[in-house]
A and B are shown apart, each in its own frame.
Chain A
Amino acid sequence: MEIMHKASSSLSCKISFFPSPDNIDSPRTLATPFRHSSASSNSQLLQLQLNRSKNHRPALSPLRCTASDSVKRQEMAGKDGQDPRIQKISSAIRVIPDFPKPGIMFQDITTLLLDTKAFRDTIDLFVERYKDKNISVVAGIEARGFIFGPPIALAIGAKFVPMRKPNKLPGEVISEEYSLEYGTDKMEMHVGAVEAGERALIIDDLIATGGTLCAAIRLLERVGVHVVECACVIELPELKGRDRLGDKPLFVLVDGA
């Protein structure tokens, strides 16, 4: 399956929120080449992992605007009208087969972090979408949500709230249990980190089944926070995580396969 690209639907500007360093254009390539899986091996491997329903979901719609979006669409270059930055971001993500176990095609964002321009573009795409939405909280899910969340929070003037595995946060916490493929896990948030009525964004690198994001939504809603949107770099659409978020919109940059 090809990696599909999703356009950002509410770009208003392309100004980078980080100053341009001198070495912005010098390429930094990972010594180990990227591996892109072929369509046929992909579908075989995915069969092992997915609970496919017989009724396929209709083709994915482009990224949704929230009802409150009133931002002008900028004229975008590129064949599909998608933001030209997406291509570079997508190709900077490395797919590692059979990690952490056979059959799983792991979407590795660490190679994106080695590409200074692509990493900055990733953050910019999120910041452009959220900066005028009165968001006061960016919640990032341990651990890769800690990489993308803080730069976004800093740029939009929001606080950053880490959502952690059990027993990592000191002091008083609230917990939310969630299902794994086998068994359950728990996510924790500090008591008092957020206040009722705040508007929040939840960030993680990837959405698969949506279980973790769901737990994060519940934690925030339990303390009276309004979750405006969930944002991820990558979505695995076959795992239907988007549907599990209920009425919460999901914004992603790239489809993984």
Chain B
Amino acid sequence: MSAYRDEDPRIQGIKTKIRVVPNFPKPGIMFQDITTLLLDPKAFKDTIDLFVERYKGKNISVVAGIEARGFIFGPPIALAIGAKFVPLRKPRKLPGEVISEEYILEYGRDCLEMHVGAVEPGERALVVDDLIATGGTLCAAMNLLERVGAEVIECACLIELPELQGRGRLNGKPLYVLVEYQ
């Protein structure tokens, strides 16, 4: 069951720390910049705490983070809940044997890779990224994990762009976000 945390007093502080940069990377896009959140140690800590409180004690053994901003939020969560951290990367960054999942972009395709052997069948996994837009990247991430027999428990993001309807594209998997941007 996905949920917003509007009622938690920490949410407001987090929301105000996210900077919106217009027309980046191209005209018409209002870019949600989380780097300003990272400059506020309390707000950054609150962000991590909110996720950790939700996932601690749920027997999650894998936190998969999507390159590159998922690398910022995933590891602190993984460390706090005692899970391993698995980076999901753009092509040809991971050395050694990988599996690949292709996904559709607005124009063209891209690919996400994961190390063979990083995750074992039956493991319970969380997928973390800073933001969900169309859901294409998160979908690819979930597919990678499921292909090796892991169970994706939930996808977790700081920010959702609800107009892009990414939530509905997650093959029925729940999505948890802290903030939505209308």
**A: which residues have CB within 8 A of B?**
18-24, 28, 30-32, 94, 96, 99-100, 106, 108, 110, 113-116, 119-120, 123, 142-144, 146-148, 150-151, 153-154, 157-162, 164, 167-171, 190, 193
Contact = CB atoms under 8 A, between A and B. Distances in A.
B33, B79, B87, B95: most-surrounded residue (chain A CB, <10 A): B79
Contacts of B24: 170-171
Interface stretch (B64-72, B102-110, B155-163, B171-179): B64-72
B118 A30 contact: yes
The residue in A142, A160, A168 that gathers the most chain B C-beta atoms within 10 A of its C-beta is: A160
Which label, helix, strand, loop or mixed, suits the secondary structure of the B interface? mixed
B51 interface: no
A170 B31 contact: yes
8 contacts: A110-B115, A114-B86, A114-B118, A119-B79, A144-B71, A153-B38, A168-B68, A193-B39
Contacts of A147: 71, 75, 85, 87
A45 to B, nearest CB: 15
B6 interface: no
A35 B65 CA distance: 25
Given A31-B116, A106-B95, A167-B25, A143 B67 contact: yes
Contacts of B38: 150, 153, 159-162
Give the residue among A22, A30, A115, A161 with the most B Cβ atoms within 10 A. A30
Interface residues of B, number: 45
Contacts of A113: 75, 78, 84-87
Contact of A162 (B25, B35, B61, B87): B35
Nearest to A107: B95
Nearest to A35: B96
Contacts of A151: 75-76, 79
A146 B68 contact: yes
A145 to B, nearest CB: 9
A203 B154 CA distance: 30
B11 interface: no
Contact of A160 (B44, B89, B116): B44
Contacts of A108: 95-96
Given A30-B118, A116-B78, 6 more contacts: A113-B75, A143-B67, A144-B71, A147-B75, A159-B44, A161-B38
A99 B89 CA distance: 16
B75 A150 contact: yes
B81 A160 contact: no
Interface in B86-143: 86-87, 89, 92-97, 115-118, 120
B116 A32 contact: yes
Contacts of A193: 35, 39
Nearest to A123: B79
A150 B84 contact: no
Contacts of A170: 21, 24-25, 31, 33
